[in-house]
Amino acid sequence: MIENLPLKVGQKVPSFEIETYEPSVGDFGTFSLDKAMAEKKWTILFFYPADFTFV
pTM above 0.85, yes or no: no
pLDDT classification of 13: cutoffs 50, 70, 90: confident
Assess if residue 21 is contained within a domain. yes
Q: By C-alpha distance, which of 51, 41, 47 is closest to 18?
A: 47
Instruction: Work out whether the CA dihedral 51, 1, 41, 21 comes out positive or negative.
Output: negative
| Per-residue model confidence (pLDDT) at position 45 | 78
User: What's the pLDDT score for residue 44?
Assistant: 84
Radius of gyration of the chain (CA): 13
> Does 5 score more than 90 pLDDT?
no
Averaged pLDDT for residues 19-41: 90
Which residues are CB-neighbours of 40 under 8 A, at least 6 positions away? none
Closest CA to 4 of 42, 34, 47, 39: 47
Point out which residues pair with 32 in neighbouring strands. Answer: 17
Domain membership flag for residue 6: no
Within-domain flag for 7: no
Whether residue 31 is contained in a domain is answered as: yes
| Tens digit of each residue's pLDDT (9 = 90 or more) over 14-23 | 899 999 888 8
What domain count does the chain have? 1
